[in-house]
Amino acid sequence: MVNDRKERKSERVAAFEAIVSHYEGPLIRYASRIVNSEDAAQDVVQDTFIKLFRKWQDALEPGPKISSWLYRVAHNRAVDNIRKQSRRRALHERHATEQPESIPPDRGEAFRLDDSAVAAAAALKTLTEREQQLVILKVYEEKSYKEISEIAGLTTSNVGYILHHAMKKLAVALRKAKAS
């Protein structure tokens, strides 16, 4: 009986490690696009996997159900992180107004983005937080409307509506950037 428990636990750990291996990269990419920080994204994904290990009762195997659950939890954790950071940022900005201005070091050509990437990032920032998250899921993560609806907790038609208007806003922002 003790051996059976150890064996089941060992199988669960192996299945969990396989899930982590399968989803870690895509979840970090998704979270880093939301929180704009690789370190924060890793924290978000780590919290997501901890919650998976503690809460998930079904079989630990890759598939649409676990994928949607993981993206939803990562999404919620990322939003929580953004809110936490915005509170911290407000505090730091108050203190920064009292400090002299500094110039960041030049990190070299390898760290420069081309103009179109900079324009796209700036255009994305013109969208609301919800629109940004849905565009990231659709464009960068290549999720279907159904998957996005499960992740974001919206109806499929609502996802389509928001994405339609977000893409129109992006097009206008990109045209303005190009005209400048």
pLDDT tens per residue, range 75-107: 999 999 988 888 877 777 776 676 666 666 666
Q: For residue 24, give the amino acid letter.
A: E
* Residue among 73, 79, 82 at smallest CA distance from 19: 73
What is the Cα–Cα distance from 129 to 36, expressed in whole angstroms?
Answer: 13
Structure tokens at 14: 């192996």
Would the CATH topology of 1-103 be identical to that of 113-180? no
Helix (H) or strand (E) holding 159: helix 156-179
Q: Where are the domains of the chain?
A: 1-103, 113-180
What is the Cα–Cα distance from 112 to 108, expressed in whole angstroms?
Answer: 7
Q: What are phi and psi of 107, to 5 degrees?
A: -90, 0
pLDDT tens per residue, range 126-163: 898 889 989 989 988 889 999 999 988 889 999 999 99
Phi-psi region of 127 (alpha: psi -120 to 50; beta: other; left: phi over 0): beta
* Topology adopted by domain 113-180: Arc Repressor Mutant, subunit A (1.10.10)
Which architecture, in CATH terms, is 1-103?
Answer: Orthogonal Bundle (1.10)
**65-69, 115-119, 145-149, 174-178: least confidently modelled range:** 115-119
* Residue among 30, 81, 68, 73 at smallest CA distance from 49: 73
Handedness of CA 155, 160, 165, 170 (dihedral sign): positive
Handedness of CA 121, 126, 130, 131 (dihedral sign): negative
Structure tokens at 107: 């990190």
